[in-house]
Structure 1
């Protein structure tokens, strides 16, 4: 109410040309009244306490690049903020956990993609099927069944499986599972077109097996038919999902870096007999020469 009365009073004074101070503003068409707001507190009694209520905070420099800083500079910065520098083992463990989560999320997305083509796909059932394919492949390898091998291995794995088995006798036997097979990784990718999708699943096998390899002479080259060995393998299975009649087949074996290298098998070969040289050839006297020499050396008869 008081503000309205003040505005009316100002307008009245502007209309009155006799007022000397407001005379220059009388001819102004647009007059704007500026009111200054009071920013200071009305009670100056607690001015000091109000000033102490506000704390100045040193903000970090966000434009500073950590990559360009040395280890000592990083440690000093962390000490300034009261933080303990992370140990090397803790950093590597954190990185491993992050990578594990990334791989697990990609595997789950790939399995979800596989279920779009196979609605009843289940990882435990697939591991049981993969075990049958794994055993069948090794039995065909032992019997050298080249014609039916392509049903359980892919075109890429076929030459690697059949390499260097000629003139050899293979005895292989699957005994039991030390640990149940499990899926460790799954991936899906499209080739040429988005509808042409291939799926690959890596299965971890920890089994007990018997393997013995004999050469063409029947001599033992590798393994034993009596002793069973614990075998840890990572086998990749592949399937053409876009193909209605596609099947899961062995595609490759992954050998981790932490596994000890296997000793190569002994190679047998036929030893060549070289002909003797001229120096080693013995000199044999003929019968004539021997007889002449004897007659010449015999005493004469009178």
Structure 2
């Protein structure tokens, strides 16, 4: 029972309702594709640390829009979505303006984001702390590392079975220490809607299935926040955390 309770506390992408198997991504191959940067680096004699601003904006557009017959709710949702769209355009503009070393490319970003998300889940399932530290920023890494500490004598297998829907950017923000100037420190945050097919299985030390189902594929929807230091030539997009869609209050 302790093992099952621990399983239910994991990140939503790996939470189990029914038992689940896994083919893992090759970490060396993954690192080769994206060239993950170290968490701490020395550039021109100075150590650069990723700064923690928290989640700049946690807005997630609702999956469904209220009927126009309920005009009050419909109007509020439309207004919030429109305001978020304008802020997204401003955020992308600022990221393009402040990115001194790598220009924004939405197609490239989405490809990197999806592979990074898969690497995080794969590394978490098999307890690979080194890869987790490479793909996650401090807050997310600390959270997953603490969950790994609760495991004992069990083996997790995770498998990715493709997309339910392509990844979608739902929120983009940029902030830093220098306003609209290109100088100073700036970070960009992009929240991506991931809707994927996954399976998961947990085995005890005798290789007996104790949770999950290696043959049951589940649709998992998550909103993952990626962050990058725009003024750091060596930084890459990493996972800062996740946000959960909250019930709209009208």
- What TM-score, normalized by structure 2, do the two folds share? 0.63
What's 2:72 paired with?
Answer: 91
Larger RCO, structures 1/2 (Cα 8 Å, 6+ apart): 2
What's 2:164 paired with?
Answer: 178
What's 2:218 paired with?
Answer: 229
What's 1:134 paired with?
Answer: 117
Correspondence list, 1:90-169, <5 A: 90-116=71-97, 117=99, 120-165=103-148, 166-167=151-152, 168-169=154-155
Offset of residue 164 of structure 1 = 2.8
Offset of residue 125 of structure 1 = 2.4
What's 2:201 paired with?
Answer: 212
Larger radius of gyration: 1
1:190 to 2:176 alignment: yes
Offset of residue 224 of structure 1 = 1.1
What's 1:292 paired with?
Answer: none
The whole-number CA distance in structure 2 between the counterparts of 1:250 and 1:229 is: 22
Query: What are the Cα deviations for residues 98-147 of structure 1, in whole angstroms up to 9, with x where unaligned?
Result: 11111111111111111121664222321111011111112222232212
Compared with structure 1, are the counterparts of its residues 159 and 219 closer, same or farther at alpha carbon in structure 2 (3 Å cutoff)? farther
Q: How many residues align?
A: 171
Q: Secondary structure at the match of 2:213?
A: strand
C-alpha contact (below 8 Å) 2:227/2:240 kept by paired residues:
yes
Structure 2: gaps spanning 5 or more residues = 1-67
Structure 1: gaps spanning 5 or more residues = 1-86, 259-302
Cα-Cα RMSD: 2.1
C-alpha contact (below 8 Å) 1:124/1:182 kept by paired residues:
no
Query: What are the Cα deviations for residues 210-233 of structure 1, in whole angstroms up to 9, with x where unaligned?
Result: 111235565544321111111111
Q: Between 120-129 and 214-223, report the one with greater CA deviation.
A: 214-223
What's 1:201 paired with?
Answer: 190
C-alpha contact (below 8 Å) 1:123/1:183 kept by paired residues:
no
What's 2:23 paired with?
Answer: none
C-alpha contact (below 8 Å) 1:178/1:207 kept by paired residues:
yes
Offset of residue 235 of structure 1 = 0.6
The whole-number CA distance in structure 1 between the counterparts of 2:102 and 2:228 is: 15
